């Protein structure tokens, strides 16, 4: 089948490359001319494991190409995907749909013959109707259907997620469009991935509901972690204990600095706002948003406390800046708020991230960047682990300690073993468990 992908970012590029790998003929379009010029030269604009190889193989096989010109992609395509950004609208928390609207107008101008317009961007309920309205108004005679096909891939594991998804959700209001979508995803049946067909509005809401639920799970365990610290329990074992219950499940129960990233923060807010428009108060989601926001400053306070009550004039080493490992995505990363709060409290920040530093430079000011974890720790009064890149898991602790001015480690992802940290003489503070304070030779008394 011939596919046009409008928007070649994290979702569009991965989806386009994977569809091409399934044997479809895919043209990826983007308004960002630099991005398309890079892609044509084989330069991948984002960090996603395995993507460079996948793109190169499919370009070589003539199944994948790139353009800034919709007219090279849309007229011959049977399915045209909209995979543009839907960021938070400034001021009110709604999803900003201007890129979707613009894409719809451009598709309307370029399309020829029966076309299925597939919205893959995460959007509020009713956006499919809006896209249909835009196209119908511009091209009253056109033959087309608008379908919702939200994307559930995770950055960092995007190719695997796209090719072996837990499920694909397709919201189609007519049989003809449904058949095109079934054909498009037919290769997935080899991977035993179920395709759930729904109406369009249900598919749109399913995506927001999924993200809000996952954000709730994270926020729930974070609150349990706070209680664990006070009562002397261990949140990692609590999470294991509840996660073994099949009704709960083990995923998304890692206590940490609060969720961030390009999806959960904006999607929870957009769900809340659009529900308000319909007169429905989503009190659970509202609480999740508020609790998660407050958590970032709470994490900064945790660092200040670990430093003896003040970070004024102190150097804080930060390991990990991206919102999670295996991506260079800094959008709404917890590191941004935590670093900002520490700077306001007078700290100097020295940071290292394996791939995110170029993106981080656009988001953070007055940060010194290190060449590796040990360089980052050099002269630091405390080291804070914010993102759990694998490269930080097996650090030489003796070497790390020797570099630091004071042996204080605040582990916001619980990747280190408390006993080992204590053995190396660190004051070790984690999330949802007792701190181990080598300086006093004992765990902090609790209760």
Residues making up the binding site for substrate = 152-155, 207, 252-256, 260, 324
Known catalytic membership, residue 307 = no
Residue 116 near residue 180 (C-beta atoms within 8 A):
yes
Q: Which residues are annotated as a binding site?
A: 30, 35, 86, 122, 152-155, 207, 252-256, 260, 266, 324, 331
Residue 133 near residue 94 (C-beta atoms within 8 A):
no
Task: Give 187's DSSP letter.
Answer: G
Which residues are registered as beta bridge partners of 339? none
Residue number closest to ligand NAI, CB atom:
9
Task: Give 81's DSSP letter.
Answer: E
Cα separation of 90 and 239, whole Å? 36
Question: Nearest approach, Cβ of 420 to ligand NAI (angstroms)?
Answer: 34
Give the residue among 121, 91, 93, 92 at the shortest CA–CA distance from 107. Answer: 121
Candidates 18, 28, 228, 263; catalytic one: 263
- Distant-in-sequence, close-in-space partners of 206: CB < 8 Å, separation ≥ 6: 150, 169, 171, 198
Nearer to ligand NAI, 35 or 94 (CB): 35
Question: Nearest approach, Cβ of 318 to ligand NAI (angstroms)?
Answer: 23
Nearer to ligand NAI, 6 or 342 (CB): 6
Residue 356 near residue 330 (C-beta atoms within 8 A):
yes
Q: Which residues are annotated as a binding site for NAD(+)?
A: 30, 35, 86, 122, 155, 266, 331
Question: Nearest approach, Cβ of 54 to ligand NAI (angstroms)?
Answer: 16
Nearer to ligand NAI, 326 or 343 (CB): 326
Ramachandran class of 290: left when φ > 0, alpha when ψ lies in -120 to 50, beta otherwise: alpha
User: Cα 360 to chain center, whole Å?
Assistant: 15
* Secondary structure element (H or E) that encloses residue 12, with its range: helix 10-21
Chain residues that interact with ligand NAI, rule: CB under 6 A: 6-12, 29-32, 35, 83-86, 99, 102-103, 106, 121-122, 151, 153, 155, 262-263
Give the residue among 123, 59, 57, 117 at the shortest CA–CA distance from 86. Answer: 123
- Distant-in-sequence, close-in-space partners of 146: CB < 8 Å, separation ≥ 6: 116, 117, 118, 119, 128, 131, 132, 135, 177, 200
Nearer to ligand NAI, 29 or 410 (CB): 29
List helix spans (H) across 232-330: 235-243, 264-277, 283-306
Nearer to ligand NAI, 224 or 355 (CB): 355
Question: Nearest approach, Cβ of 439 to ligand NAI (angstroms)?
Answer: 41
Nearer to ligand NAI, 301 or 361 (CB): 361
What are the two backbone dihedrals, phi and then psi, of residue 344, each rounded to the nearest 5 degrees?
-65, -25
Nearer to ligand NAI, 32 or 198 (CB): 32
Question: Nearest approach, Cβ of 207 to ligand NAI (angstroms)?
Answer: 7
Distance linking the first and last C-alpha atoms of the chain: 64
Cα separation of 302 and 293, whole Å? 15
DSSP string, 380-406: -SEEEE-S--GGGTT--HHHHHHH-SS
- Distant-in-sequence, close-in-space partners of 196: CB < 8 Å, separation ≥ 6: 167, 168, 169, 170
From start to end of 178-226, where are the E strands?
A: 195-198
Nearer to ligand NAI, 59 or 438 (CB): 59
Question: Nearest approach, Cβ of 425 to ligand NAI (angstroms)?
Answer: 40
Which residues carry out catalysis?
263
């Amino acid at each position: 089948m011939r596919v046009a992908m409008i928007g070649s970012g994290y979702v569009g590029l991965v989806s386009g490359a994977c569809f091409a790998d399934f044997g479809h003929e895919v043209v990826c379009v983007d308004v960002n001319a630099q991005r398309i010029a890079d892609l044509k030269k084989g330069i991948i604009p984002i960090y996603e494991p395995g993507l460079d190889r996948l793109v190169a193989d499919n370009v070589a096989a003539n199944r994948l190409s790139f353009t800034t010109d919709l007219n090279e992609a849309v007229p011959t395509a049977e399915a045209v995907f909209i995979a543009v950004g839907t960021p938070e609208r400034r001021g009110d928390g709604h999803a900003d749909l201007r890129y979707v609207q613009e894409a719809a107008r451009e598709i309307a101008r370029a399309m020829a013959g029966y076309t299925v317009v597939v919205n893959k961007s995460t959007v509020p309920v009713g956006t499919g109707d809006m896209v249909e309205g835009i196209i119908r108004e511009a091209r009253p005679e056109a033959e087309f259907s608008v379908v919702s096909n939200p994307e559930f891939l995770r950055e960092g594991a995007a190719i695997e997620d796209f090719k072996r998804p837990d499920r694909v959700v397709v919201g189609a209001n007519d049989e003809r469009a449904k058949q095109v979508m079934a054909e498009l995803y037919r290769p997935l049946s080899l991977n035993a991935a179920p395709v759930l067909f729904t109406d369009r509005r249900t598919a749109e809401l399913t995506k927001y509901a999924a993200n809000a639920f996952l954000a709730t799970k994270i926020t729930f365990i974070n609150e349990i972690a706070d209680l664990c610290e006070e009562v002397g329990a261990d949140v990692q074992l609590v999470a294991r204990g509840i996660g073994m219950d099949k009704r709960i499940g083990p995923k998304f129960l890692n206590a940490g600095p609060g969720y961030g990233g390009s999806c959960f923060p904006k999607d929870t807010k957009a769900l809340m706002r659009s529900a308000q428009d319909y007169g429905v108060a989503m009190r659970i989601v509202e609480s999740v948003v508020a609790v998660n926001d407050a958590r970032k400053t709470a994490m900064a306070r945790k660092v200040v406390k670990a430093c003896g009550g003040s970070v004024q004039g102190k150097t804080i080493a930060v390991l990990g800046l991206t919102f999670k490992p295996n991506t260079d995505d800094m959008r709404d990363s917890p590191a941004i708020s935590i670093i900002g709060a520490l700077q306001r409290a007078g700290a100097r920040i020295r940071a290292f991230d394996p791939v995110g530093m170029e993106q981080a430079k656009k988001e953070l000011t007055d940060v010194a960047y290190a060449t590796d974890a040990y360089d980052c720790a050099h002269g630091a009064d405390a080291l804070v682990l914010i993102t759990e890149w694998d490269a930080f898991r097996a650090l030489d602790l003796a070497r790390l300690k020797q570099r630091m001015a004071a042996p204080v480690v605040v582990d916001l992802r619980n990747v280190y073993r408390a006993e080992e940290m204590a053995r190396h003489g660190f004051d070790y503070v984690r999330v949802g468990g007792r701190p181990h304070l080598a300086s006093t030779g004992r765990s902090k008394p609790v209760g």
